[in-house]
């Protein structure tokens, strides 16, 4: 197993191009199960998670290959309905094959999911929505078994304790496109990735209105056909690169970025005094003056993304003053706090709040990544720290950031891999 080693203290400079959005491409790949026709998905990042989803599609009877950012998908044999534990257990997003399998075949057997350890993330909203469409659901030996003679449109409220659910919205939307009648999803997730999935489904012949709002309306159709689609830029990778420029006091031009997807992050950074110049598809980030501490609260989109919470904490740990970071999506998503403190940060956790007292400089140290975004947080901290930082369990990083080492190296970072 490899670890990532970073020699900190280098101001990052240059240009970087953002890859396609991981959280958009995974459900879109799953949606190809809704048709026997060929589909072509462009702008696909070569990630551990992407390749896991491709293996799942192959296990279900599809031919799927990723080459130069393009996945070509066709039907090799009759679509299977069992998504195996060995694959689904490694990645939570793979649970979104439930909706399309049930919609197409009227039956599905999908392992309960795995993924990052960032607190309890039940699938109750997924099952609530699927049941409302008329499916019978049982949980046996770690599998969700869903069956229906016919799926029927319904009015479904999908709000949860911590707000809307992206994957539950995806699952219910994919099941509903082939249901009989009209489905209304209330308290639907509004994230750009949900909109991207909806737009792909529309290209396939689905009838969907209201994507990007809390109420999505779906009129079921008899069948879907193949389509070609290009994935939106990854707003979380873009946000991470913005913070990389600021935490290293650097100067980076970020290409293939949709700043309209980053409103809450940009708002907080401008409040902190960051210099950001935006265009239609790029962003120039230049560190000009010392930043000031700010408070951040994660919320469902368009609020501040929980997937940027850990990275923002790295920046605030070296920003003068005291900031309070509140996690309202996954209250247990603070496993990176202890690792940042190992690097000299002054962070104290109080329930869903992290109180960060900014210091002048972090110190390199051996640290361990607990999840995808925590690994990015520690990489940012390592870029800014004095000395060497070694990050174990970097397979988490590979799940969501395409060619991250190469991209950082091109910006001047001193980063390399070593065997554990």
- Structural contact between residues 405 and 28, judged by C-beta atoms closer than 8 angstroms: no
- Structural contact between residues 300 and 189, judged by C-beta atoms closer than 8 angstroms: yes
- From CA 389, how far away is CA 342, in angstroms rounded? 11
13 three-state secondary structure: strand
- Structural contact between residues 69 and 79, judged by C-beta atoms closer than 8 angstroms: no
- From CA 273, how far away is CA 162, in angstroms rounded? 30
Residue 321 token pair: 């003053």
How is residue 142 annotated by DSSP? Answer: T
Distance of CA 252 to the CA centre of its chain: 23
Q: Which helix (H) or strand (E) holds 315?
A: helix 309-316
Instruction: Map 45-83 to HEC letters.
Output: CCCHHHHHHHHHHHHCCEEEEEECCEEEEEECCCCCCEE
- Structural contact between residues 130 and 99, judged by C-beta atoms closer than 8 angstroms: yes
Q: Which member of 39, 96, 116, 377 is catalytic?
A: 116
- Structural contact between residues 328 and 297, judged by C-beta atoms closer than 8 angstroms: yes
- From CA 210, how far away is CA 57, in angstroms rounded? 29
Residue 202 token pair: 């529309």
- Structural contact between residues 286 and 275, judged by C-beta atoms closer than 8 angstroms: yes
148 three-state secondary structure: coil
**What are the start-end ranges of the H helices in 116-249?**
124-132, 166-176, 192-203, 235-247
Q: Which of 195, 201, 285 is nearest to 32 (CA)?
A: 201
Residue 214 token pair: 């809390």
Q: Which of 271, 191, 237 is nearest to 401 (CA)?
A: 237
Q: Is 116 a catalytic residue?
A: yes
Residue identified by tokens 């049982």 is 138
How many residues does this entry show for the chain?
420
How is residue 162 annotated by DSSP? Answer: T
Active site members: 116
């Amino acid at each position: 197993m490899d670890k990532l080693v970073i020699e900190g203290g280098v101001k990052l400079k240059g240009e970087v191009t953002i890859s396609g959005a991981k959280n958009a491409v995974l459900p879109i790949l799953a949606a190809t199960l809704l048709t026997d026709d060929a589909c072509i998905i462009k702008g696909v990042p070569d990630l551990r998670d992407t390749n896991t989803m491709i293996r799942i599609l192959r296990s279900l009877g599809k031919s799927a290959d990723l080459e130069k950012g393009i996945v070509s998908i066709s039907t090799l044999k009759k679509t299977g309905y069992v998504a195996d534990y060995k694959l689904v257990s490694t990645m939570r997003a793979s649970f979104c094959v439930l909706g399309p399998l049930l919609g197409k075949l009227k039956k599905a057997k999908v392992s309960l999911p795995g993924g990052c350890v960032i607190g309890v993330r039940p699938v109750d909203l997924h099952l609530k929505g699927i049941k409302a469409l008329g499916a019978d659901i049982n949980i046996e030996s770690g599998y969700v078994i869903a069956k229906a003679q016919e799926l029927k449109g319904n009015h479904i409220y999908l709000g949860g304790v911590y707000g809307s659910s992206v994957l539950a919205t995806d699952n219910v939307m994919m099941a509903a496109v082939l249901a009989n009648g009209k489905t209304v999803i209330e308290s639907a997730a509004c994230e750009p990735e949900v909109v991207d999935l909806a737009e792909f489904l529309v290209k396939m012949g689905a009838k969907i209105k209201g994507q990007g709002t809390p109420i999505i309306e779906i009129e079921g159709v008899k069948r879907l056909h193949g389509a070609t689609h290009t994935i939106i830029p990854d707003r979380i990778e873009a946000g991470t690169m913005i913070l990389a420029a600021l935490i290293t006091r650097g100067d980076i031009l970020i290409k293939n970025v949709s700043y309209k997807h980053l409103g809450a992050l940009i708002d907080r950074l401008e409040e902190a005094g960051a210099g950001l110049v935006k265009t239609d598809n790029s962003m120039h980030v230049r560190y000009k003056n010392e930043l000031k501490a700010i408070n951040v609260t994660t919320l469902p989109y368009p609020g501040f993304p929980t997937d940027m919470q850990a990275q923002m904490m790295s920046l605030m740990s070296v920003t003068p003053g005291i900031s309070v970071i509140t996690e309202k999506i996954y209250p247990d998503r603070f496993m990176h706090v202890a690792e940042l403190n190992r690097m000299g940060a002054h962070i104290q956790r109080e329930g869903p709040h992290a109180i960060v007292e900014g210091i002048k400089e972090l110190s390199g140290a051996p640290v361990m990544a607990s999840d995808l975004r925590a690994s990015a947080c520690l990489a940012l901290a390592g870029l800014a720290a004095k000395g060497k930082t070694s990050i174990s369990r970097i397979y988490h990083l590979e799940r969501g950031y395409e060619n991250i080492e190469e991209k950082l190296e091109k910006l001047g970072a001193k980063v390399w891999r070593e065997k554990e």
